[in-house]
Amino acid sequence: MAQTKIDLRIKNLKEHLKKENDILCEVVDKFRELDKIAYKLGFLHPDKQSYAIQVSWWPMISVLGTYSAGKSTFINHYLNQPKLQRTGTHAIDNKFSIICYGDNKNVSTLPAIAIDADPRFPFYQISQELTNVADDDAEQHLDTYLQLKICPSEKLQGKILIDSPGFDADNQRNSTLRITQHIVDLSDLVLVFFDARHPEPGAMRDTLEHLVAKTIDRSDSNKFLYILNQMDSTAKDDNPEEVVAAWTRALAQTGLVTGRFYHIFNPDECVELPENVKERIEKKSQTDMEDIHARMEQIGIERSYRVIGMLEDTAKNLEQNIIPQIKGLLQRWKQRVIWTEISLDFIVICLIGLWFATTDNTVAGTWQQLIGLGTISLGTIGALVFIVGLWLHLKIGDMVANNILKKLQTEITDEQTREGLTRAFNKNTGTWNKLFIWFVDNPIGWSRKTQQHINEVLGSVNNYVQKLNDKFTNPSGSNSIDK
Place 92 in a pLDDT band, splitting at 50, 70 and 90.
Answer: low
Mean pLDDT of 318-344: 92
Residue 193 pLDDT: 86
Is it the case that residue 81 has pLDDT exceeding 90? no
User: Looking at per-residue confidence, does 173 or 424 come out higher?
Assistant: 424
Q: For 373, how many CA atoms within 13 A lie in the half-sphere containing its CB?
A: 10
Percent of the chain scoring above 90 in pLDDT: 20
Rounded to whole angstroms, the Cα distance separating 363 from 361 reads: 7
Asked whether residue 134 carries a pLDDT value surpassing 70, the answer given is no
What residues pair up with 262 in beta bridges, in sequence order?
227
Mean pLDDT of 93-115: 79
Percent of the chain with pLDDT over 70: 72
Overall average pLDDT of the 252-269 stretch: 70
Residue-level pLDDT at 212 = 66
pLDDT higher than threshold 70 for residue 69: yes
**Cα 118 from Cα 183, distance rounded (Å):** 17
Q: What pLDDT score does 139 carry?
A: 42
Q: What's the Cα-to-Cα distance from 33 to each of 12, 26, 452, 465, rounded to whole Å? A: 18, 11, 12, 19
The whole-angstrom separation of Cα 482 and Cα 107 is 44
- Residue 192 is given by DSSP the state E
| Per-residue pLDDT tens over the stretch 141-195 | 666 777 888 888 888 887 889 888 765 545 456 667 777 777 787 788 889 888 8
In words, the CATH class of domain 58-309 is alpha beta
Q: Is 162 within 8 Å of 62 (Cβ atoms)?
A: yes
Distance CA 228, CA 215 (A): 17
Q: Which of 123-137, 213-227, 275-289, 447-461 has the lowest mean pLDDT?
A: 123-137
Instruction: Quote the CA–CA distance of 57 and 27 in Å, as a whole number.
Output: 11
Per DSSP bridges, beta strands 96-101 and 160-163 are: antiparallel
DSSP label of 318: I
Of the ranges 6-20, 28-42, 386-400, 409-423, which is most confident? 28-42
Nearest to 172 by CA among 115, 110, 94, 86: 94
Instruction: Quote the CA–CA distance of 95 and 112 in Å, as a whole number.
Output: 10
Beta bridge partners of 261: 226
Is 60 exceeded by the pLDDT of residue 328? Answer: yes
pLDDT of residue 171: 47
Reported as a pLDDT band with limits 50, 70 and 90, residue 136 is very low
pLDDT value, residue 365: 58
Mean pLDDT, rounded, for 104-132: 69
| CATH 3.40.50.300 in the chain, residue ranges | 58-309
* Contact present, 177 and 135 (Cβ < 8 Å): no
Mean pLDDT of 280-295: 87
pLDDT at 316: 95
How many C-alpha atoms does 204 have within 13 Å on its Cβ side? 25
Range of weakest confidence among 220-229, 376-385, 428-437: 376-385
Q: What is the pLDDT of residue 463?
A: 92
- Whether 481 shows a pLDDT value over 50: the answer reads no
- C-alpha 450/C-alpha 392 separation (Å) is 35
Q: Which of 23-37, 167-181, 213-227, 460-474 has the lowest mean pLDDT?
A: 167-181
Task: Note whether 56 and 300 are within 8 A (CB).
Answer: no
Q: How many CB atoms lie within 10 A of CB 460?
A: 19
Report CA-CA distances (Å) from 224 to 48, 123, 245, 291, 296: 31, 21, 20, 13, 12
CA-angle at 146, arms to 144 and 147, nearest 5°: 115
Give me the pLDDT at residue 235, please: 65
Residue 188 one-letter amino acid: D
Helix (H/G/I), strand (E/B), else coil: 210 = helix
pLDDT at 406: 92
> Is residue 482 scored above 60 in pLDDT?
no
- CA 311 to chain centroid, in Å, comes to 14
DSSP, residue by residue, 249-286: HHHHHTT--SS-EEE---TTSPPP--HHHHHHHHHHHH
Who has greater pLDDT, 384 or 426?
426
* Residue 138 pLDDT grade (very low, low, confident, very high; cuts 50, 70, 90): very low
Which of 358, 434, 453 is closest to 40 using CA atoms? Answer: 453
Q: What does the pLDDT average to over 2-29?
A: 82
Mean pLDDT in the chain? Answer: 78
Task: For the full predicted model, state whether its pTM sits above 0.85.
Answer: no
